[in-house]
Chains A and B, each alone.
Chain A
Amino acid sequence: MSALIIFSLLAVLMLTGMPISIALGLSVLTFLFALTQVPIEAVALKLFTGIEKFEIMAIPFFILAGNFLTHGGVAKRMIRFATALVGHLHGGLALGGVVACALFAAVSGSSPATVVAIGSILLPAMVKQGYPKSFGVGVIATSGGLGILIPPSIVMVIYAVSTNSSIGQLFIAGIIPGILLAMTLLTVTWIVARKRNYPRLPKASALEVFKAFKESIWGLALIFVVIGGIYSGLFTPTEAAAMSAVYAFFVSVYVYRDMGLKKVPQVLLASASMSSMLLYIITNAVLFSFLLTSEQIPQDLTAWMVGLGLTSVTFLIFVNILLLVAGNFMEPSSILLITAPLLFPMAMALGIDPIHLGIIMTVNMEIGMITPPVGLNLYVASGISKMGLTDTTKACAPWILVMLVYLTIITYIPQISLWLPNLLYK
């Protein structure tokens, strides 16, 4: 009963269009005030202790690192390297875009940032070469989703924090699904490009490939700082994030010199406000899940579900549908923060691996980013392509199908996600 009240309250408040963080907080306050004896003063303390965890602080650091990388010419050199590798095939620039997105995803934790970094350079070039703009937009907006699947990933940090899972294991688990998705997108792009006879670039000689590799080595090295550092235990994830922020700053300003020192305050401010927004949602979501727990809602739902006799197969179908629908209305961090505390105990009761659930949720979030009306990747892609939102959506529509097939594979073959972390951590 209280579950129904809480969620209707949240739904009504959210539909007024007020910020999600405020809607979460207000529904908690209203419920506590009207229907329970929980001392409301506890709320203020929760607002502070909600984000008083060192793991969460990886988020601002990853955002900062991502912003430095976006402005600092790392993306440009990665694109050059990627097109040198695959440019000679049919649809070379598009394939290069997918590879570049995958590479950039391995140093950045956000999808829209990946779309911006790669798309803003590559899309104009593709249009010049005669690609239909909608094709380029579709490829880039979809591949940008790799940003949250290939580690590091802000979405995974949020999942780990709200379910007490290991950030390191999730990151490692994302590697193989990430590579698999990149391969899938490359294959589809190549088949379409061959059929429509999209332009190829002249084949780069081994020397040219090596030169492009050498140029981009500073950016690529960051992959090892983050993943290697966390896996070897040199750094905690948060420390790795801070190190990559400093490293990205150093490379952008002093090595590539694509960004002047003058631009640093601007990058700091943009990163700070983006992180604050996320942290504010997290704080209020913590408050919300505190209310859910104190009302025993996750336990009740789990008991109810077990009583229904759901199997893990049907449960995962339900999870996917729920998340895909939610992806149409909210951005990923909010969805994760609201649904993870509910879905997690149920999944545990059914014996689903927490890491596998994390990967499934992440892939769902990726799809949410290219579905209207609130797909962040769509907005960003529409911004850099100067193409209307409706047309951008149409451009991405065929790719959603590809993603759905991929989601099914990831959902029902847990080994793809679990093989590597099990190998390394057990």
Chain B
Amino acid sequence: MMKYLDRLEELIISLLIGTATIVIFVAVLHRYSSGLPIPGVQDWLLTINMSWAQELCIYMFVWMAKFGAAYGVRVGIHVGVDVLVKQLPDFWKKKMIVVGILGGVLFTGIIGTLGAHFVWEVGMREAVATRFGFDWPDLIEGPISPDLELKMWLVYLAIPIGSYLMCFRFLQTLVTFIKTGCLPHHDIAHVDGIDDELYEGTDGLQPVVGDHQKGCKE
């Protein structure tokens, strides 16, 4: 179950960045190729309207950013200032790390709730009422995006979903840390294809790994 969520998260953000790239690429190609006087083709190109591409790209990246931030918690990509914490004795270090993670839980939880409330007020309430025929007072139709004419509350839905997912990931991290003392660790220094043998016998020094990472799987 967890595995599916993990894969889905990865799939969504990869697809979003890939598609956004293609969308902008096609939009630019279209802009210049429709200026070429090729009979037939030009008329056809001019009938296609690509003005929505920028807007779509922005929304895709906003969604990517929210899901990607949650994925980032899982793989430990969010950087903090750990200079002080590293100097502390083990007991206090653990306490501080827990406080840090709880800060994440708190913030994403609050933002998720605020976001959900906001989305509800800005059009979801009206949409739900219309869809199911509820007779609620003061129904106001939410705003619509300028080019794609999407309902904005659908776009804003990224905030509560993303934040709650992120909150969940922070909780997951907390549980793992308390149980095993391991944190997800994004090794920025890791590079594919570096041949370890090249360095054999040079001086035997290895990049240092944080103390709390000893005995944790990569």
A residues engaging B (CB < 8 A)? 13-23, 25-26, 29, 40-41, 43-45, 47-48, 51-54, 56-57, 60-61, 64, 71, 112, 116, 120, 124, 127-128, 133, 234-235, 238-239, 242-243, 245-246, 265, 268-269, 271-277, 279-280, 283, 328-331, 334, 373-374, 376, 379-380, 382-391
On whether the beta carbons of B68 and A239 are closer than 8 Å, the reply is: no
On whether the beta carbons of A124 and B198 are closer than 8 Å, the reply is: yes
Whole-angstrom distance from the CB of A44 to the nearest CB of chain B?
4
Given A20-B80, A47-B115, A387-B205, 19 additional A-B pairs, CB 8 A: A13-B103, A14-B81, A16-B85, A48-B156, A48-B158, A52-B58, A53-B58, A54-B54, A116-B191, A127-B202, A235-B28, A269-B13, A272-B71, A275-B61, A276-B66, A277-B72, A386-B202, A386-B206, A390-B208
On whether the beta carbons of A18 and B189 are closer than 8 Å, the reply is: no
**Bound form: Cα–Cα A212–B61 in Å:** 38
On whether the beta carbons of A383 and B190 are closer than 8 Å, the reply is: yes
On whether the beta carbons of A21 and B54 are closer than 8 Å, the reply is: no
**Bound form: Cα–Cα A14–B84 in Å:** 10
**Bound form: Cα–Cα A373–B32 in Å:** 48
**Bound form: Cα–Cα A54–B155 in Å:** 16
On whether the beta carbons of A23 and B62 are closer than 8 Å, the reply is: no
Task: List the A residue with the shortest CB-CB distance to B78.
Answer: A19
Please, which residues of chain B bring their CB within 8 A of the CB of A26?
A: 103, 106-107
- Which listed residue, B27, B79, B107, B118, touches A41 by the CB 8 Å rule? B118
Taking CB atoms and an 8 Å cut-off, the chain B residues in 160-194 that contact chain A are 187-194
Query: B99 in the interface, Cβ–Cβ < 8 Å?
Result: yes
On whether the beta carbons of A272 and B16 are closer than 8 Å, the reply is: yes
Of B67, B83, B115, B156, the most chain A CB neighbours within 10 A belong to B83
Whole-angstrom distance from the CB of A256 to the nearest CB of chain B?
15
Task: List the A residue with the shortest CB-CB distance to B108.
Answer: A22
On whether the beta carbons of B61 and A41 are closer than 8 Å, the reply is: no
**Bound form: Cα–Cα A238–B27 in Å:** 12
Please, which residues of chain B bring their CB within 8 A of the CB of A116?
A: 191
Please, which residues of chain B bring their CB within 8 A of the CB of A382?
A: 189, 207
Whole-angstrom distance from the CB of B61 to the nearest CB of chain A?
5
Please, which residues of chain B bring their CB within 8 A of the CB of A268?
A: 14-15, 17-18
Please, which residues of chain A bring their CB within 8 A of the CB of B72?
A: 273, 276-277, 280
- Given A382-B189, A387-B203, A388-B206, A45-B85 contact (CB < 8 Å): no
Please, which residues of chain B bring their CB within 8 A of the CB of A18?
A: 80, 99-101, 103-104
Task: List the B residue with the shortest CB-CB distance to A276.
Answer: B68
Q: B103-144 vs A: 1/0 string, CB under 8 Å?
A: 110111011001101100000000000000000000000000
Please, which residues of chain B bring their CB within 8 A of the CB of A25?
A: 107, 111
On whether the beta carbons of B21 and A330 are closer than 8 Å, the reply is: no
Please, which residues of chain B bring their CB within 8 A of the CB of A21?
A: 69, 78
On whether the beta carbons of A124 and B81 are closer than 8 Å, the reply is: no
Q: Please list the 3 inter-chain residue pairs (A to B) with the smallest Cβ-Cβ separation, ordered nearest first.
A: A276-B68, A383-B189, A19-B78
On whether the beta carbons of B80 and A14 are closer than 8 Å, the reply is: yes
Please, which residues of chain A bring their CB within 8 A of the CB of B80?
A: 14, 16-20, 22-23
- Given A48-B158, A235-B28, A269-B13, A29-B110 contact (CB < 8 Å): yes
15 A-B contacts, Cβ less than 8 Å apart?
Answer: A15-B85, A16-B85, A18-B104, A26-B106, A120-B193, A124-B198, A268-B17, A269-B14, A272-B14, A275-B61, A275-B65, A280-B65, A329-B81, A383-B189, A389-B208
